[in-house]
Amino acid sequence: MISRLGAPPKLIKIRIGNCDNQKLWDFIRKRLLNSIDLLTNTDTAIIELN
Residue 25 domain boundaries:
2-46
Q: How many helices (H) and strands (E) does the chain have?
A: 1, 2
**Angular region, 6: left φ>0, alpha ψ -120 to 50, beta rest:** left
C-alpha span between 28 and 11 (Å, rounded): 18
Number of domains in the chain: 1
Q: What does the pLDDT read at residue 35? A: 78
What pLDDT shows up at residue 25? 75
Q: What is the pLDDT along the chain (50 residues), one digit of tens a residue?
A: 455 555 555 555 555 565 556 777 787 888 888 777 777 776 655 555 54
- At residue 43, the pLDDT reads 64
